[in-house]
Structure 1
Amino acid sequence: MNAEDVEALIEENLEDADATVSHPRGVDDEDHLSATVVSPAFEGESLVDQHQMVYDALGDHMTEDIHALEVSTYTPDEYAEQAE
């Protein structure tokens, strides 16, 4: 599963999500991915719950097509703050 497909699944299945998915530095295979996901749905949720929301958005692809996914999650405000 390529990075663009993973981005699309996250954005389609997680409220107002903006996902950026790539291969981690030094890793050159389709099964290892890194995702940064920004969504207002994360507001008030624990980090564990935020990550679970991303995994839920990917459904069975997490166990069938994706070997490893490094996830960073942010609310829009958190993302704006860290970008400064």
Structure 2
Amino acid sequence: MRPEERVAAIEARLRAALAPLELEVQDESHRHRGHAGAADGRGHFAVRLVSEAFRGQRPLARHRLVYAALGSLMETDIHALAIRAFAPGEGEPLD
């Protein structure tokens, strides 16, 4: 899968599962070229999302929801994922 297709797939799965009010997905793979973990072709990504699904959830539970939403992409297309997950009214605004 091409990088832009990976970003679109990540966005689609997160939107379908968590109905985020705000969503930002960044491909940071270029920062990890030559990294041993990047040798298999999977990418490094950062996501920031705001969703009602996170209300009342601790950070670990929020991350588990994101991983569950991404499903098989975690095995086939994503090597590393930085997650910033907030309930409405929490966190920093999008840039």
Of 22, 25, 36, which aligns to 2:26? 22
Task: Compare CA radii of gyration and give the structure with the larger one.
Answer: 2
Query: For structure 1, which segment, 48-57 or 63-72, has the greater mean C-alpha deviation from structure 2 after superposition?
Result: 63-72
Kindly, what percent of the aligned residue pairs are identical? 31
Measured after TM superposition, the shift of residue 24 of structure 1 is 3.1
Count of matched residue positions in the alignment of Structure 1 and Structure 2 = 80
Of 5, 11, 16, which aligns to 1:7? 11
C-alpha distance in structure 2 between counterparts of 1:28 and 1:9, whole Å: 24
TM-score, structure 1 as length reference: 0.81
Of 48, 58, 67, which aligns to 2:60? 48
Measured after TM superposition, the shift of residue 32 of structure 1 is 0.6
Task: Tell me the equivalent position of 2:39.
Answer: none
TM-score, structure 2 as length reference: 0.72
C-alpha distance in structure 2 between counterparts of 1:41 and 1:3, whole Å: 21
- Listed one character per residue, the Cα deviations across residues 17-71 of structure 1 (whole Å, up to 9, x for unaligned) are 1321012396277611100011011010010000110000001111221111111
Where does the alignment leave 5 or more consecutive residues of structure 2 unmatched? 34-41
Task: Tell me the equivalent position of 1:77.
Answer: 89
